[in-house]
Structure 1
Amino acid sequence: MTSSQPLVCIFFKLPPSHRPCSRIYEIAWNVLLPQLNRIDEAFIAVQATRPSSEAKKIWAEARRTASEKMFNLQDIPFSSNNTAYYFLQFLDALHSGSDNSEPYQSFLSAAGDAIVRAGTAQKVMVEFREEIRIVVGRITNILSNDGRDVSSFVTESSQSLLELATGVEECNAILEEHREEFKMVQRQSSDEKSNPPSEEEIRVVQEKWRAFEGITDPDAYRWQALRREMRGPEDSGEPVTTSYNSTSPTMPTYNPKNRRIPLWKKFFYRTISYILLEKLC
């Protein structure tokens, strides 16, 4: 009995790996957030006896800014999901024999948008790393000038800065991989006459892009919860201890059989995407 050979796609491009979307999400929860919290705990400890309102204000602003930068990481699954949506529109138009020029251009624009957003996220992650480093230095100077023993804060924050730098480096390497994969996807042709796809190829490619669309769906991730944790407690003086783990509800989840997305959310995502794509064109 001969085993079936894997299908070779001669016309359609397969979707990029979904790994970048899930991995940067894991890095944000497993590396960036815990290290911010570690600095926060060290800061609270050194503030215990003689609080500095100036240092506290600087650190609170740094956490707020860090929280806002997570929007740029959130853009990665969002733009990936949009690309999948428009690719499937293009595939359906081509398969039905209708005019595919408009869905094809929408797909190319969405893929281009994903590339741009990944590049922006890379720059923002470098800014994130540098801003935290600068803020830690400022806080250290303020506290040491007031005669406090900041040795424990320096030790803890220095280690956290190293961990943050490593996390950012990995994140940016993944984003670069993501950009290259989308550049390959952008090479998709709209003229199937030279290499007409078979029905089997259409079916397989459609299944893979639908799976990619589901895995990258905005509802599969809890970015809002991450941003809230990044901001930290408001004037509570208590350290944040939330972290990501494999059994946490923050873990991205997707079940294609039970997927239910409210129509208003679909309309909202597509409307925002359309507006952004129009600006890029």
Structure 2
Amino acid sequence: MTSSQPLLPPRHQSICRVHEISWSVLLLQLNRLNEAFEAAQATHPSPEAKKIWSEARRSAAKKMRNLQDVAYVDYNTANDFLDFLKALQTGRGNPGAYETLIDSARQAVNETDIAQEALLKFREDLRIVAGKITTLMSDDCKDMTSFQIESSQSMLELATAIEECNALLEEHREELKEVQQQSLDENDNLPSEEEFQMVQEKWLAFEEASGPQAYKWLLLQHKMAGPDDSDEPVITSDNPRNPTRRTNLSKSRRISFWRKFFRRISSCLPN
């Protein structure tokens, strides 16, 4: 093969890992905080504290929508890349497909930024709420030592997990930016049929890995929100949606499409 390497999709394992951490750590620690709160409520009932905690759980659940949105825009970006690739392969020269692809990639980068911020707020909001509950329920010299210990330990676990999630999202964001920064030069030589096939297979796999059956963000939101939302139907799979398209494309420096197209992995094709 040539010394340059194909532009492949972002590694879907990054979002898979974020999804796994959200279930195995974020939800687990939220439930741990809930158990500690319920234990404190059993001996020191406080309607006001209960209201604060219920609102905090619902707020935490809503922040998972931002992670869900990353999967949605990944799916759309993969779909748009495949449409663009098909237009190139058939020689139809579809500038609209190119613009749609770049716009999808830009939205994917933006949604990843938003998801990173949402995770930081997830942790900070719970820390503030835990402090409010401790203060509120300690007003009458009530012993809140157990709740304080549990909440402190949970905050440490959340901090570590969210740091890992944001590192994964940052890696994902940088890979998406490579797609966003493509430029289309009609003078570039098109790749061979074999190269087209290899790239298409990789993006098809990424599309499937980002599809409606890949994650369970909605079910996670339901579980995080707690029993107050138990009368709502439980949805166990996500359906991708098409975010509103924006016509203003990023003015960031473009990189020649075919120069970057052959870039990302080695030994993709036989010598």
TM-score range, shorter chain: 0.7 to 0.9
Q: Which of these residues, 220, 239, 246, is aligned with residue 278 of structure 1?
A: 246
Could you tell me whether the CA contact under 8 Å between 1:11 and 1:189 is conserved in 2?
no
Q: Flag the 1:35–1:9 CA change in 2: closer, same or farther, 3 A.
A: farther
Q: Which runs of 5+ in 2 are unaligned?
A: 231-235, 250-271
Could you tell me whether the CA contact under 8 Å between 2:44 and 2:137 is conserved in 1?
no
Deviations 1:164-192 (A, max 9, x none): 11111111111111111111122334336
Q: Flag the 1:79–1:41 CA change in 2: closer, same or farther, 3 A.
A: same
Deviations 1:141-179 (A, max 9, x none): 011113321111111110001111111111111111111
Deviations 1:38-84 (A, max 9, x none): 01001111111231000000000000000101000111111111110
Could you tell me whether the CA contact under 8 Å between 1:11 and 1:196 is conserved in 2?
no
Which residue identity does 1:136 align to in structure 2?
A
Counterpart in the other structure of 1:24? 18
Deviations 1:110-148 (A, max 9, x none): 001010011111111111111100000000001111332
Counterparts of 2:5 and 2:92 in 1: how far apart (Å)? 18
Counterpart in the other structure of 1:106? 100
* Displacement after TM superposition at 1:193 (Å): 3.8
Counterpart in the other structure of 1:141? 135
Could you tell me whether the CA contact under 8 Å between 1:122 and 1:172 is conserved in 2?
yes
* Displacement after TM superposition at 1:12 (Å): 4.7
Counterpart in the other structure of 1:70? 64
Counterpart in the other structure of 1:121? 115
Counterparts of 2:47 and 2:16 in 1: how far apart (Å)? 38
Q: Does the alignment pair 1:187 with 2:155?
A: no
Which residue identity does 2:10 align to in structure 1?
P
- Corresponding residue SS for 1:219: coil
* Displacement after TM superposition at 1:92 (Å): 0.3
Which residue identity does 2:106 align to in structure 1?
G
Counterpart in the other structure of 1:243? none
Which residue identity does 2:192 align to in structure 1?
S
Counterpart in the other structure of 1:46? 40
Which residue identity does 1:63 align to in structure 2?
R
Could you tell me whether the CA contact under 8 Å between 1:114 and 1:182 is conserved in 2?
yes
Counterpart in the other structure of 2:156? 162
Counterparts of 2:248 and 2:57 in 1: how far apart (Å)? 31
Question: Which range moves more in the overlay, 183-192 or 67-76?
Answer: 183-192
Q: Which of these residues, 212, 216, 221, is aligned with residue 210 of structure 2?
A: 216
Identity of aligned residues (%): 51
> How much is the aligned-residue C-alpha RMSD, in angstroms?
2.2
Which residue identity does 1:277 align to in structure 2?
R
Q: Flag the 1:18–1:174 CA change in 2: closer, same or farther, 3 A.
A: same
Which residue identity does 1:17 align to in structure 2?
R
Which residue identity does 2:17 align to in structure 1?
R
Query: Aligned residue pairs: how many?
Result: 244
Could you tell me whether the CA contact under 8 Å between 1:88 and 1:206 is conserved in 2?
yes
Counterpart in the other structure of 1:177? 171
Counterparts of 2:6 and 2:188 in 1: how far apart (Å)? 12
* Displacement after TM superposition at 1:11 (Å): 7.5
Counterpart in the other structure of 1:241? none
Counterparts of 2:10 and 2:126 in 1: how far apart (Å)? 32
- Corresponding residue SS for 1:180: helix
Could you tell me whether the CA contact under 8 Å between 1:32 and 1:164 is conserved in 2?
yes
Counterparts of 1:9 and 1:91 in 2: how far apart (Å)? 21
Could you tell me whether the CA contact under 8 Å between 1:77 and 1:216 is conserved in 2?
yes
Could you tell me whether the CA contact under 8 Å between 1:11 and 1:197 is conserved in 2?
no
Q: Flag the 1:8–1:229 CA change in 2: closer, same or farther, 3 A.
A: farther
Q: TM-score, normalised by structure 1?
A: 0.81
Q: Flag the 1:217–1:280 CA change in 2: closer, same or farther, 3 A.
A: farther
Counterpart in the other structure of 1:226? 220
Which residue identity does 1:190 align to in structure 2?
L
Q: Flag the 1:58–1:8 CA change in 2: closer, same or farther, 3 A.
A: farther
Q: Which runs of 5+ in 1 are unaligned?
A: 1-6, 237-249, 253-260
- Corresponding residue SS for 2:205: helix
